[in-house]
Structure 1
Amino acid sequence: MYVLFVVLNETEYLSDVLIKIRQLGIRGATVIESVGATSIDKGIYSLPVIGGFMRTLDGDSSTNRTIFSVIENEKEVEKAMEEVEKVLGGDLKKPHKGIMFVLPVTHFRGGELQRHIEDRENKKIIEKEYESEYY
């Protein structure tokens, strides 16, 4: 299993990315608000409260959205990365687009993916029992 991280600098793509992930059959994703170190280094987050509030009203936000999702196999990971990159305009090497990366998952409990895996495994066991009883 793997966990795919997608850090979106262009947050207007968030819904499209989530829809695409779901269309690919990936079960579940978590979205968190995140801030890049460059934004912090530039002092964007040291603004006074009123100044920061005004920036929010103006729609000028320096926050990102980070999506992460546990994916069962490498083939699904590759497909997800290809499709997400297409949604984001096809080239993550361009500045200010964001990044994607994948890490292996060594232990896993809970969530929709675990339920799906258990259901699939239980179905295999039941099918095997039927085969042995009748054949």
Structure 2
Amino acid sequence: MKLVFIVINKTELLEEVLEYMVEVGVTGGTVFDSVGMGKILVYDIPIFAAFKELMIGSKASNKTVMTTVPDDLLDDFIEGIDKILHFDEPGSGVLFAIDIYKSRGLSKVE
């Protein structure tokens, strides 16, 4: 089992990501609002204010999805999310998966 984080910069794609997850059987997860470190540095810390022009066109916030994915589904799952978010395009978002060593409260996967 893997813990997958999907940071979605194009927040209008959140619904499509969630629909895809349900279609492939990944039905649990948490979605939260998030802000990139660059935004905080540029807008909240005066010494970095000169970099504001580099941030033009980017959104102030994004959505992060945290979910668990069975090992045997992981590669196909990531490929499907990539088809929606297009990770090769700058500013689209990021996805990473990590092993779950121990857990409590997760449903057992057959």
Q: Calculate the TM-score normalised by the size of structure 1.
A: 0.66
Q: Distance in 2 between matches of 1:80 and 1:3?
A: 12
| Bigger Rg, structure 1 or 2 | 1
Superposed, 1:1-135 pairs within 5 Å as 1-43=1-43, 45=44, 61-73=59-71, 75-88=72-85, 91-111=86-106, 114=107, 116-117=108-109, 120=110
Query: After superposition, what is the alpha-carbon deviation per residue over 1:73-117, rounded to whole angstroms, capped at 9, x for unaligned?
Result: 1x31111110011112xx312211000000000112214xx1x53
TM-align CA RMSD: 1.8
* Percentage of identical aligned residues: 28
Figure out how many residues of one structure are paired with residues of the other and give that number.
98
Which residue does 2:51 correspond to in 1?
A: none
Query: After superposition, what is the alpha-carbon deviation per residue over 1:16-65, rounded to whole angstroms, capped at 9, x for unaligned?
Result: 0000011001130110100001111111x57xxxxxxxxxxxxx951110
Q: Which runs of 4+ in 1 moved over 6 A?
A: none
Q: Calculate the TM-score normalised by the size of structure 2.
A: 0.80
Structure 1 gaps, min length 5 = 47-59, 121-135
Q: Is the 8 A contact 2:9 2:59 kept in 1?
A: no
**Could you tell me which amino acid in structure 2 is paired with residue 9 of structure 1?**
N
Task: Please state which structure has a larger fraction of its residues in helix.
Answer: 1
Other structure's SS at 1:19 match = helix
Other structure's SS at 2:15 match = helix
Structure 2 gaps, min length 5 = 46-57
**Could you tell me which amino acid in structure 1 is paired with residue 7 of structure 2?**
V
Q: Distance in 1 between matches of 2:22 and 2:69?
A: 12
Q: Distance in 1 between matches of 2:99 and 2:15?
A: 25
